[in-house]
Amino acid sequence: MDTWGLGLILGSLTASTAAFVWLALKLGGKSKKGGSMTGDDFADQAKKDVEHIFNDEFREELRNRGRLHFEKIIGENAMFLQQDLRLTTSQLNEYMKTEITRKLQEEFTKYEESITDAKQMAIESITKTQETIEQQRLMMSQQLSQELANEKTRLIDRFEENMADIVNHYVLAAVGNQIDLNDQLEYILSDLEANKEAIIRDLNDGA
């Protein structure tokens, strides 16, 4: 309800009260103008006239009229107020709808921008992470390949070294005791013959 509606209601109530008071004073003034009577008589006469004029029926009639008029004014004002309320509500709804829509659009726009930025950042971060992971993978792959190659070389070397020793040890253990020294004499003498000069030289002059 706006101020004008409230003022209109109050003005109507004030005008009704003023009209009622004015009517009462008017009737009282006419009764004072009749005959020469004492003050008490006038007072009694006035009291009687007032009671005669404003008897209970008349008062009830006035009261009913005032009530009806008041109800009518109240109803009209309530209708006006209702219309104003409806109008205000609709305007308010429209305003709220517009504002909310605008705000929501702004917020959605900001939200979309934020999401876009976050998405872009996430994509960049993921891209960087993927690049880093790829680099790490390549580096680890190279290291792993190098380690595998080294391990393979080491195992092969160890295998070769140990395998030769194992085979030699096995053959020596298996065959060594089975060869008679007498059978080895020719072999030993041939070796001595092959190195005879060195042995002679060492025995003779210690060279």
**Residues near other proteins (CB under 8 A):** 160, 163-164, 167-168, 171-172, 175-177, 179, 181-182, 184-185, 187-189, 191-196, 198-200, 202-204, 206-207
For other proteins, give the closer residue by CB, 113 or 191: 191
Nearer to other proteins, 40 or 180 (CB): 180
* Closer residue to other proteins (CB): 143 or 168: 168
Nearest distance from C-beta of residue 155 to other proteins, angstroms: 14
Determine the angle formed by the axes of helices 181-194 and 196-205, rounding to 10 degrees.
70
Torsion on CA atoms 48, 49, 54, 55, rounded to nearest 10 = 50
Residue closer to other proteins (CB basis): 138 or 163: 163
Q: Whole-number minimum distance, CB 134 to other proteins, in Å? A: 38
- Cβ–Cβ under 8 Å, residues 23 and 62: no
CB of 148 to other proteins, least distance (A): 19
Nearest distance, CB of residue 146 and other proteins, angstroms: 23
Judged by CB, which is closer to other proteins: 29, or 206?
206
Least distance in Å: CB of 149 to other proteins?
18
- In angstroms, the CA 53 to CA 49 distance is 6
The tokens for 76 are: 């009209």
Tell me the residue type at 192: L
